């Protein structure tokens, strides 16, 4: 069983500061209007609705909406299908990010938006950990630079509309406390934690 399958059972029950931060930032970027053709690429247990794609069967079993198993390098979605494509906290796990960016662009209709949020290049020492069967496990991430992030998206044909460089705030404080790491909250809040970008496919 892979790490994400192991994580699935507790994924929604744990207070994860990075997940909380990415959710509040992306919710603001997405806005109140739900598009009828929304794709959540690397959906996990399905935070955003629409059609979810994930490589973890155990994660997909916990989604409420329509899902299909697949990975970011070859999304099993027709070209130009999505009006909005979201990918949160998933690209840093992908070794072949250039291809993943091309896929995010491919499945989005011309004029559609691609919203991507992940660990900030300045804060990739953040550990993605979870506890399963009493054991703390860490999922390694693939580091990247800001130039790579912006360059790979541009090479995929996407045009940058907006970006947010986000820090942990009061909304994440309870999660640090619940994890017994309130001592880290002040220091963590001084550095950029999340890079969120909104792109348009021309």
Q: Where are the domains of the chain?
A: 3-200
Distance CA 134, CA 84 (A): 38
Residue among 52, 46, 23 at smallest CA distance from 194:
23
Q: What is the largest CA-CA distance in the chain?
A: 48
Cα–Cα distance between 80 and 157 in angstroms, integer?
13
Flag whether the pTM goes above 0.85. yes
Q: Which CATH class is domain 3-200?
A: alpha beta
Between CA 56 and CA 76 the distance in angstroms is 14
Evaluate if residue 57 carries a pLDDT over 80: yes
Report DSSP state, residue 110: E
Looking up tokens 């399958």, which residue turns up? 5
For residue 8, pLDDT over 80 is answered with: no
Q: Tell me, what's the pLDDT at 33?
A: 66
Fill in the DSSP letter of residue 34: P
């Amino acid at each position: 069983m892979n790490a994400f399958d192991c994580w699935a059972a507790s994924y929604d029950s744990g207070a994860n500061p990075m997940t909380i931060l990415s959710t509040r930032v992306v919710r603001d970027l997405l806005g109140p209007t739900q598009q009828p053709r929304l794709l959540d690429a690397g959906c996990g247990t399905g935070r955003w609705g629409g059609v979810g794609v994930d490589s973890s069967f155990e994660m997909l079993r916990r989604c409420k909406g329509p899902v299909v198993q697949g990975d970011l390098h070859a999304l099993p979605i027709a070209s130009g299908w999505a009006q909005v494509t979201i990918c949160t906290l998933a690209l840093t796990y992908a070794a072949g990010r250039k291809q993943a960016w091309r896929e995010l662009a491919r499945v989005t209709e011309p004029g559609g938006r691609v919203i991507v949020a992940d660990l900030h290049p300045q804060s990739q020492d953040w550990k993605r950990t979870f506890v399963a069967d009493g054991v703390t496990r860490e999922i390694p991430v693939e580091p990247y630079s800001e130039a790579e992030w912006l360059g790979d998206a541009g090479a995929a044909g996407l045009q940058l509309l907006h970006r947010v460089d986000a820090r942990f705030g009061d909304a994440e404080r309870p999660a640090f406390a619940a994890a017994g790491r309130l001592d880290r909250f002040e220091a963590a809040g001084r550095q950029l934690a999340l890079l969120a970008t909104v792109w348009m496919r021309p």
